[in-house]
Structure 1
Amino acid sequence: MHMDTRTAAALDEAKARLADGYLADPNVVGVAKGFRTRGGELTGEPVVIALVRKKRRAALVSRSRLLPSTVGGHGVDVVETGEFRFSGATARAAAPAPIAERLRPPLQGGSVGSLADGTLGTLGCLVRDRTDGSICVLSANHVLANFAALEKYSAAAPGAAIVQPAPLDGGADAGNTVARFKRAIPLVRGVPNSADAAIAQLEPGIGVSSTVARNLMAPISPTHPAVGLAFLASAHGGTFMAKIDTVLAQLDVELLTPGSTAAAVEGRRIEKVGRSSGYTSSVVLDTTATVFVDGYQFTDLIYAQRFSLVGDSGAVVCEGGNGRTYTPMPAIACRMLGAAGALYDLPLANDNGYVDQARDEFFGQSLVGNLVVRLVYQNLDVAVNRLTVATVSPEEKAEARRYYDKYRGLVIGLLGDPGSTVQLTQENVDDIRAVFAGLSPELVTVAEKQAMWVIFDDVIAPSAGFTRTQLLDSMNDLAVYQRVVAALRQIPGLEVDETFGFSSR
Structure 2
Amino acid sequence: MDARTAAALDAAKARLAEDHLTDPNVVGVAKGFRTRGGELTDEPVVIALVRKKRRAALVSRSRLLPATIGGHGVDVVETGEFRFSGATKAAAPSPIAERFRPPLQGAGLGSLADGTLGTLGCLVRDRTDGSICVLSANHVLANFGATAPGTAILQPAPLDGGADAGNTIARFKRSIPLVKGVANSADAAIAQLEPGIGVSSTVARNLMAPISPTHRAIGLAFLASVHGGTFMAKIDTVLAQLDVELLTADSTTQVVEGSRIEKVGRSSGYTSSVVLDTTASVFVDGYHFTDLIYAQRFSLVGDSGAVVCEGGNGKTYTPMPAIACRMLGAAGSLYDLPLANDNGYVDQARDEFFGQSVVGNLVVQLVYRNLDVAVNRLEAATVSPEEKAEARRYYDKYRALVIGLLGDPGSTVQLTQENVDDVRAVFAGLSPELVTLPEKQGLWVIFDDVIAPSVGRTRAQLLDYMNDLAVYQRVVNALRQIPGLEVDETFGFSSR
Shift of the alpha carbon at 1:167?
A: 0.2
- Superposition TM-score, scaled by structure 2 size: 0.69
- Aligned residue number for residue 414 of structure 1: none
Shift of the alpha carbon at 1:441?
A: 2.2
| 1:379 equivalent among 347, 350, 353 | 347
- Alignment deviations for residues 273-331 of structure 1 (CA, whole Å, 9 cap, x no partner): 00000000000000000000000000000000000001000000000000000002227
Shift of the alpha carbon at 1:443?
A: 12
Shift of the alpha carbon at 1:88?
A: 3.2
Of residues 129-138 and 75-84 in structure 1, the stretch that sits farther from structure 2 once superposed is 75-84
Query: CA RMSD of the aligned region, Å?
Result: 3.0
Unaligned runs of 5+ residues in structure 2 are: 325-340, 354-394, 412-457, 466-489
Q: Secondary structure at the match of 1:136?
A: strand
- Aligned residue number for residue 71 of structure 1: 69
| 1:223 equivalent among 214, 221, 237 | 214
Partners of 1:241 and 1:158 in 2: how far apart?
A: 25
Find the structure with the greater CA-based Rg: 2
Q: Given residue 143 of structure 2, which amino acid in structure 1 is its aligned partner? A: N
Q: Given residue 441 of structure 1, which amino acid in structure 2 is its aligned partner? A: R
- Aligned residue number for residue 325 of structure 1: 316
Q: Is the counterpart of residue 289 in structure 1 residue 280 in structure 2?
A: yes
Q: Is the counterpart of residue 146 in structure 1 residue 143 in structure 2?
A: yes
- Aligned residue number for residue 98 of structure 2: 101
* Correspondence list, 1:458-473, <5 A: none
Shift of the alpha carbon at 1:22?
A: 1.1
- Aligned residue number for residue 192 of structure 2: 201
* Correspondence list, 1:310-459, <5 A: 310-330=301-321, 376=344, 379-380=347-348, 382=350, 388-390=400-402, 441=459
Residues 495/441 of structure 1: CA separation in 2 closer, same or farther (3 Å cut): farther
Partners of 1:235 and 1:322 in 2: how far apart?
A: 22
Shift of the alpha carbon at 1:94?
A: 2.8
Residues 182/68 of structure 1: CA separation in 2 closer, same or farther (3 Å cut): same
Of residues 78-87 and 136-145 in structure 1, the stretch that sits farther from structure 2 once superposed is 78-87
- Alignment deviations for residues 26-84 of structure 1 (CA, whole Å, 9 cap, x no partner): 11111100000111101000000111112111112111111111111111111111111
Partners of 1:195 and 1:252 in 2: how far apart?
A: 13
Q: Secondary structure at the match of 2:148?
A: coil
Shift of the alpha carbon at 1:442?
A: 7.1
- Aligned residue number for residue 12 of structure 2: 14
- Aligned residue number for residue 462 of structure 1: none
- The answer to whether the 8 A contact 1:111-1:164 is kept is yes
- The answer to whether the 8 A contact 1:387-1:443 is kept is no
Partners of 2:70 and 2:153 in 1: how far apart?
A: 48
* Correspondence list, 1:113-132, <5 A: 113-132=110-129
Q: Secondary structure at the match of 1:214?
A: helix
- Alignment deviations for residues 357-380 of structure 1 (CA, whole Å, 9 cap, x no partner): xxxxxxxxxxxxxxxxxx958715
Partners of 2:205 and 2:73 in 1: how far apart?
A: 42
- The answer to whether the 8 A contact 2:80-2:323 is kept is no
- Aligned residue number for residue 273 of structure 1: 264
Partners of 2:219 and 2:404 in 1: how far apart?
A: 55
Residues 445/121 of structure 1: CA separation in 2 closer, same or farther (3 Å cut): farther
Q: Given residue 125 of structure 1, which amino acid in structure 2 is its aligned partner? A: C
Q: Secondary structure at the match of 2:231?
A: strand
- Aligned residue number for residue 376 of structure 2: none
Partners of 1:123 and 1:260 in 2: how far apart?
A: 18
Residues 36/207 of structure 1: CA separation in 2 closer, same or farther (3 Å cut): same
Q: Given residue 21 of structure 1, which amino acid in structure 2 is its aligned partner? A: D
- Aligned residue number for residue 111 of structure 1: 108
Residues 12/179 of structure 1: CA separation in 2 closer, same or farther (3 Å cut): same
Partners of 1:72 and 1:65 in 2: how far apart?
A: 18
- The answer to whether the 8 A contact 1:106-1:164 is kept is yes
| 1:186 equivalent among 174, 177, 201 | 177
Q: Secondary structure at the match of 1:65?
A: coil
- The answer to whether the 8 A contact 2:91-2:267 is kept is no
Of residues 50-59 and 105-114 in structure 1, the stretch that sits farther from structure 2 once superposed is 50-59
Unaligned runs of 5+ residues in structure 1 are: 148-153, 334-351, 353-374, 400-439, 448-490, 498-505
Q: Given residue 115 of structure 1, which amino acid in structure 2 is its aligned partner? A: L
Shift of the alpha carbon at 1:220?
A: 0.3
Identity %: 81
Partners of 1:277 and 1:443 in 2: how far apart?
A: 47
Partners of 1:224 and 1:31 in 2: how far apart?
A: 29
- The answer to whether the 8 A contact 1:56-1:495 is kept is no
| 2:37 equivalent among 30, 36, 39 | 39
Partners of 2:322 and 2:59 in 1: how far apart?
A: 28
